[in-house]
Amino acid sequence: MKDIFENEMKLEFISKSSNEAFARVAVAAFVAQLDPTIEELADIKTAVSEAVTNCIIHGYENRQGIVKIVGYLKENEVILEISDNGKGIENVDIAKEPLYTTKPNLERSGMGFTIMESFMDTLEVESIIGLGTKITMSKKIKPKIENDEGEFQMITKD
């Protein structure tokens, strides 16, 4: 049975590094419906940046392609799928190891998956050589309640 989502978005753009900022802003605008904190939004934007950058630098290397983002909102959770039709990842487990990189000459230090894992609640990587890679990640946004002064505060479990 397919999940029932409260809202959904689909976005496609050319694999140019200048579109990374566009992806961050588009996803942030979509997630804003859940009223995240600044920190939660920053975490999501950072994870999106890492995923999109991986598509551009590793998936397509020196050729142009399409990066796709599909986002879902379900209750207080955002689920993001970021994919490419690039070259794929030979060994996902090795690629997810901190500091592993196939591009040691670039400024990046092989921390993309580690950053995504630390900023999001879940991370799944599916990849097929020659067909591309799909990253699915999710984050629950902490609900807020209104106090007696009309201010909102986070609900925390003690």
Q: How do the domains of the chain map onto residue ranges?
A: 7-154
Mean per-residue pLDDT, 106-112 = 65
Identify the residue whose tokens are 């392609």: 65
Question: Which range, of 55-59, 134-138, 148-152, averages the lowest pLDDT?
Answer: 148-152
User: Cα-flanking dihedrals φ and ψ of residue 75, to 5°?
Assistant: 55, -115
Mean per-residue pLDDT, 57-77 = 93
155 has a pLDDT exceeding 90: no
Question: Which range, of 48-52, 101-105, 108-112, averages the lowest pLDDT?
Answer: 101-105
93 has a pLDDT exceeding 80: no
User: Cα-flanking dihedrals φ and ψ of residue 57, to 5°?
Assistant: -75, -45
Label residue 4 by pLDDT band (50, 70, 90).
confident
Looking at CATH, the fold of the domain delimited by 7-154 is given as Heat Shock Protein 90 (3.30.565)
Secondary structure (3-state) at 85: coil
- pLDDT value at residue 1: 41
**Mean pLDDT, rounded, of the chain:** 86
Are the C-beta atoms of 78 and 124 separated by less than 8 Å?
no
What percent of the chain stands above pLDDT 70?
79
Secondary structure (3-state) at 124: strand
- pLDDT value at residue 144: 73
Cβ neighbours, 10 Å, residue 43: 19
34: β partners: none
Label residue 114 by pLDDT band (50, 70, 90).
confident
33 has a pLDDT exceeding 80: yes
- Which residues belong to the active site? 50, 54, 108
Report how far residue 51's alpha carbon sits from residue 143's, in angstroms, rounded to the nearest whole number.
26
Helices of type H across 5-37: 19-31
